[in-house]
Amino acid sequence: MLYFPTITLDRSGSTSLSSQIAVRLRSSILLGEVRSGESLPSTRALAAVLGISRGSVVTAYDQLSGEGYLVSTQGAPTRVAVLLRGDPYQKPPSSVAASSRGQDTDLIDLTPGYPSTHRLSGPSWSAAWRTAAARPIPHTEPPLQGTRALRIKIAEHLRHARGVLCAAEDIVVTAGTSEALALVALALGESRRSGAQPESEPIPAPVVAVETPGYPAAARVLRRLGAILLPIPVEPDGMPTTILEDQASPPDAVLVTPSHQYPLGGRLPVDARLRLLRWAGHHNAWVLEDDYDSEFRHVGPPLPALASLDTDGRVVLIGSFSKILTPWLRLGYIVMPERQAVRAALLAVRRDLPCPVSGVLQDAATELLATGAVRRHIAAVRRDYAHRRNLVLDALSNHAGTTLTALDGGLHAVLEVTDQATARAAVRELLNRGIRVVNLETYSALPDGAAVPAGLVFGYAASTDTGLARALGHIREVTTRRY
């Protein structure tokens, strides 16, 4: 059934026409004037009736699609999404708490780190995979560093998005961030072996300084491959370089998230970045820069990547398309510095562990980058994420007894609470209600969870607008209680 909305526009007001259309349609959906699954008129038809440009209607439809109210499919009418109605605090079935990811549609999964993928099913995405699949199938495996065409496009993307000047020869394609870290960990050991004398004692494991709280998967990968971790408690702006300078035995490498510290959200000032690079040069250390979500900056201009400030060949830049597109691809990259010892160690490991990323995937990613589809996708989802970020701010920024942080960039937020007992109880109660968040203490690199504030970490990008609003109400309620 086609629903044709009645919309009265104020052409002399300060509110844009697209915003007025979005407000009216959103209200119609929430009030039940239009039912889930019903079709809306085409953007051209509605624009003709309203006597406005089609672009204003397209913008309104895009906004509501990003919020989860509408579903747009190429070649089909735009429809109202299937929405959950009723009491927003209604407890879902008890089976939800025991369900695993993706097995229960009632579960609102706010696990941090996941992007929205609803915009990926458009014509550009489909065309890229058709083009890749239509190419002749080589009888060889993909090149060790990845296809040259993809590496050229990644270099162009980094130049425009992050100000990093690099060439195809500097890039190693990886199966995501975890594989990149595995290569780096093995390369650190390779670097130690290549510099040792044949008669020397057994070479000790490399020591890597890591942020705490920090990225848990990175710590697990480094430990799994034999590295010894040196946890450094972060300050509001990120890892303090003074602690590194005070170490009697400097670490071999430092893993940092300088543009948006994960998970607390601080960003390392330029003077601290330069100080870190000077420290690395003085101690012949590697700096591992995890640039995981710098494309999504909501407050203030982006700071330069560490790699763009590196004049001594110390920074190994690690990135991926997991936050930009989807972790389903398992596609990432390493940007090697100019220092030959670092490059030689990384390439030696890659020769023994060839590129695991399929050639078809690399060809499709090349098409997405070459046609501008990735750039357009980033611009579109950035608007979606800004809207959902505002929902988080409206719901929790003035919540008594809590502090909301990490929202200057990225796809997640941190809600600090009074104590660990409150955080643990809130995580359990939210899961009982069908909402998954993560306890901040699990991000500690110390075995007892020390040096980490009490709080909850949750993502706001992957959920729909309605699902997020529902979850935020529950988060506000359970963190109000005394445990």
Q: What is the dihedral of CA 225, 228, 233, 234, to 10 degrees?
A: -50
Q: How many separate domains does the chain show?
A: 3
Same domain, 72 and 32: yes
- Distance (Å, whole) CA 98 – CA 94: 8
Predicted local confidence at residue 91, as pLDDT: 41
Boundary residue ending a domain (371, 398, 431): 371
Same domain, 168 and 305: yes
Residue 460 lies in a domain: yes
Residue 342 lies in a domain: yes
Predicted local confidence at residue 197, as pLDDT: 52
Predicted local confidence at residue 104, as pLDDT: 46
Same domain, 421 and 385: yes
Same domain, 395 and 327: no
Tell me which residues of the chain have a pLDDT lower than 50. 84-104
> Could you please report the per-residue DSSP string of 202-223?
PPPPPEEEEEES--HHHHHHHH
Predicted local confidence at residue 450, as pLDDT: 73
Boundary residue ending a domain (371, 395, 425): 371
Residue type, 79: R
For residue 263, the domain's CATH number is: 3.40.640.10
> Could you please report the per-residue DSSP string of 423-440?
HHHHHHHHHHTTEE-EEG
Residue 4 lies in a domain: no
For residue 36, the domain's CATH number is: 1.10.10.10
- Distance (Å, whole) CA 309 – CA 312: 9
pTM, 2 dp: 0.81
Using N-to-C axis directions, what is the helix angle for 373-396 and 54-67, rounded to 10°? 60
Same domain, 384 and 365: no
- Distance (Å, whole) CA 464 – CA 483: 30
Residue 88 lies in a domain: no
Q: Are 253 and 208 in contact (CB under 8 A)?
A: yes
Residue 89 lies in a domain: no
Please list, residue by residue across 462-483, b when 16 or more beta carbons sit within 10 angstroms of its beta carbon and e when fewer do: bbbbbbbbbbbebbeebbeeeb
Same domain, 410 and 320: no
Using N-to-C axis directions, what is the helix angle for 176-194 and 340-352, rounded to 10°? 110
- Distance (Å, whole) CA 191 – CA 211: 23
Same domain, 254 and 293: yes
For residue 414, the domain's CATH number is: 3.90.1150.10
- Distance (Å, whole) CA 1 – CA 476: 38
Q: What angle do CA 200, 202, 205 make, to 5 degrees?
A: 125
- Which strands sit side by side in the sheet containing 332-335, from one edge to the other? 171-174, 332-335, 315-320, 286-290, 253-256, 207-212, 228-233
- Distance (Å, whole) CA 446 – CA 463: 31
Same domain, 178 and 272: yes
Predicted local confidence at residue 194, as pLDDT: 67
- How many CB atoms are located within 10 Å of the residue 193 CB? 12
Q: Are 337 and 316 in contact (CB under 8 A)?
A: yes
pLDDT digits (tens, 9 = 90+) for 375-392: 999 998 998 999 999 999
- Distance (Å, whole) CA 188 – CA 174: 17
Same domain, 406 and 447: yes
Q: If we measure between CA atoms, which residue out of 184, 224, 195, 158 comes closest to residue 347?
A: 184
Same domain, 98 and 158: no
Residue 119 lies in a domain: no
Predicted local confidence at residue 28, as pLDDT: 83
For the chain, what's the residue count?
483
Residue 319 lies in a domain: yes
pLDDT digits (tens, 9 = 90+) for 234-254: 999 999 989 998 888 999 999
Question: Helices (DSSP H) in 42-175: which residue ranges?
Answer: 43-50, 54-67, 123-134, 148-162
The whole domain housing 399 covers 94-113+377-478
Same domain, 273 and 408: no
Residue 274 lies in a domain: yes
Boundary residue ending a domain (319, 338, 371): 371
Cβ neighbors of 23 (< 8 A, separation 6 or more) are none
Same domain, 54 and 109: no
φ and ψ of 184, to 5 deg: -65, -45
